[in-house]
Amino acid sequence: MKRLVLKTLITAMAVTAWGISFAQDVKERTIKIAFSQSDSHPQGLGAQKFADLVASKSGGKLKVNLFSSGKLGGDLQVISSLQGGTVEMLITTPGLLAGMVKDFEAVDLPFMFQSPEEALAVLDGPFGKKLYSKIPEKGLIGMAYWDFGFRNVTNSKRPITKMEDLSGLKLRVVPAAMYVDLFKGLGANASPLPWPELYGALEQKAFDGQENPASAIAAAKFFEVQSYLSLTKHTYNAQAVLASKRFWDQLSSAEQKILQDAMSEATPYQRQVSRAYDESSLDVLRKEGMKVNDISPSERNRMRVALKDVIEKHSAPIRATVDDLNVELAKYRAAAK
């Protein structure tokens, strides 16, 4: 009996001590997380799941506020804000980090991945961790890789059924050299433009078209200003979930653990929602009047061959990283057989 009472007292003391430590180590904080898509897009749904988990795990002390639809500016602008510590978190395309760490171009190389599963398996492993190990010195912390889907071309002129159909089209692309070179290599007139400005540019006919996953095309209502969607699947687009290092270094170990644990739980949810949303978005786009066409595997291969020089141009400066990526892909594909 005495042992039971003593054990109960020790347990109660430990719980009390943990509660005091938690109260001291977890402060009242507000965290801004920015992303380019809407609250109802998988970016927003994943961010909300993360916010809910953070609130629950911190007893409401850590509050994550969502800033969707580019409200805080284009992604490159927000990356600078993360580095300066004025914004705490961002969800963005990994290729946009290539301006500071060129190795990130590897994941945006055209026709590199055959499925979201293999891309995310590689990014979850040593390869993706090694990429993220390169950005703390740039003022950023890599927290996870989320899903965005394969990028496809829309335009207001004609369906793209073969490579030659891209010739002369003025396309908006991600503000990254890889994407400009990719579409110039296929004959299009490619120019970068920040996401928040894109709908207006398409509406005003400043661009004939653009390229994005189906989920983003539907969420942004591009069916109102574009007639054709062609499933080129030229690049698989993961999403980098980033934190400001200045912000991260201010956190206690308990606060960091709360955010890391919440991100680990939110990531599978976001990926599942994203894949389902991408599939259902095609139905939405068809119902809204867009003409959707697939591209044959042989035609995609023609495009890949035509981009040989572009792929080599962007692979050469980061040869070791591209080789590592191909090794990890080969391992995945061999195990999947």
pLDDT above 70: residue 6: no
Each residue of 258-291: pLDDT tens digit? 999 999 999 999 999 999 999 999 999 999 999 9
In degrees, to the nearest 5, what angle opens at C-alpha 80 toward C-alphas 74 and 82?
Answer: 100
| Closest alpha carbon to 216 in 174, 188, 182, 178 | 174
Confidence of residue 251 (pLDDT cuts 50, 70, 90): very high
189-214 mean pLDDT: 96
pLDDT above 90: residue 24: no
State the pLDDT at residue 122.
Answer: 97
Each residue of 115-150: pLDDT tens digit? 999 999 999 999 999 999 999 999 999 999 999 999
State the pLDDT at residue 320.
Answer: 97
Chain centroid, CA 202 distance in Å: 23
State the pLDDT at residue 95.
Answer: 87
State the pLDDT at residue 23.
Answer: 56
Q: Answer whether 92's CB lies under 8 Å from 86's CB.
A: no
State the pLDDT at residue 337.
Answer: 83
State the pLDDT at residue 5.
Answer: 53
State the pLDDT at residue 2.
Answer: 54
pLDDT above 70: residue 3: no
CA–CA distance, 31 with 258 (Å, rounded to integer): 13
Each residue of 165-188: pLDDT tens digit? 999 999 999 988 999 999 999 999
CA–CA distance, 325 with 244 (Å, rounded to integer): 26
To which residue do tokens 């007292």 refer? 9
Q: Answer whether 172's CB lies under 8 Å from 210's CB.
A: yes
Chain centroid, CA 279 distance in Å: 17
Q: How far is CA 278 from CA 9, 31, 154, 207, 281, in A?
A: 54, 28, 15, 24, 5
State the pLDDT at residue 8.
Answer: 52
Secondary structure (3-state) at 167: coil
Chain centroid, CA 264 distance in Å: 15
In degrees, to the nearest 5, what angle opens at C-alpha 181 toward C-alphas 178 and 182?
Answer: 80
Each residue of 205-248: pLDDT tens digit? 999 999 999 999 999 999 999 999 999 999 999 999 999 999 99
Q: Answer whether 192's CB lies under 8 Å from 175's CB.
A: yes
The domains located in the chain, with CATH, are 28-336 (3.40.190.170)
What are the phi and psi torsion angles at 152 (to 5°)? -135, 160
pLDDT above 50: residue 18: no
Each residue of 58-116: pLDDT tens digit? 999 999 999 999 999 999 999 999 999 999 999 999 989 999 999 999 999 999 999 99
> Whole-prediction pTM value?
0.88
What are the phi and psi torsion angles at 70 (to 5°)? 65, 25
Confidence of residue 329 (pLDDT cuts 50, 70, 90): very high
CB atoms < 10 A from the CB of 124, how many? 13
pLDDT above 50: residue 312: yes
> Tokens for 88?
């705490």
